[in-house]
Amino acid sequence: MTAVDTTRFVTLEGLEGAGKSTAMAFVREWFEARGESVVTTREPGGTPLAEELRHVLKAVRDEPVAESTELLLMFAARAQHVERVIRPALSAGHVVVCDRFTDSSRAYQGAGRGMSSEVIEQLAGIAHPGCNPSLTFWLDVPVELGLERAAAREAADRFEQEALAFFERVREGFVRLAEQYPERLVRVDASAPIDAVRARIESTLEARYG
């Protein structure tokens, strides 16, 4: 696998309804205003095969989904996405902005479901060796506010049906990730008004890429 420059690989993370999709538009617009070509994409998904896996992962079903099944499907989708979309786009000189990436596996499957972090890092090494984001915006909202925002939109998927305690563990997972990766992970107070979220994102981008 050829090495790729990941300087301009940016990800957005946070709970459901935190404002990731909203923030993605701000990141895109900031780069485009500087004449850059931007590829925006999302996980799980981002290719036809990976979007099929997204559907499989999110569907509400009677059959309980084993934690290891969920984890492996997430990384299967990610491997395909990195190989088919993210690496080629970075190689071609595009900025890549991705809505969720491996930090979501660390937070949801790791902190939320209790899967081993060693196993998660091994899978990351298989699915996307040498291809990690350089900047991650963590849109941090209180669990209840995020779920409230998400609920206003569509029927709850398999993840959104989890109990509050699950999402509290996921949020704690993001708190620990921010401590673990202080250079890469930028916490954005996503309970603030949208204008303030935008200003925080733009000033961070200015400091990193301006």
Cβ count within 10 A of residue 210: 10
Residue-wise DSSP of 37-58 = -EEEEESS-SSHHHHHHHHHHH
What is the residue whose two structure tokens read 């915006």?
137
Phi, psi of 55 (to 5 degrees): -60, -45
Q: Where are the beta strands (DSSP E) in the chain?
A: 9-14, 38-42, 95-99, 135-140, 185-189
Q: How far is the CB of 45 from ligand ATP (least distance, A)?
A: 11
Residues that bind Mg ion (rule: CB under 5 A) add up to a total of 2
Residue 35 or 193: the one with the smaller Cβ distance to ligand ATP is 193
Q: How far is the CB of 126 from ligand ATP (least distance, A)?
A: 26
Stretch 1-40 residues interacting with ligand ATP (CB under 6 A): 14, 16-22
| Contact call for residue 54 and ligand ATP (CB under 6 A) | no
Residues 13-32 as x/- pattern, contact with Mg ion by CB under 5 A:
-------xx-----------
- Contacts with ligand ATP, residue ranges (CB under 6 A): 14, 16-22, 149-150, 190, 192-194, 197
- Contacts with Mg ion, residue ranges (CB under 5 A): 20-21
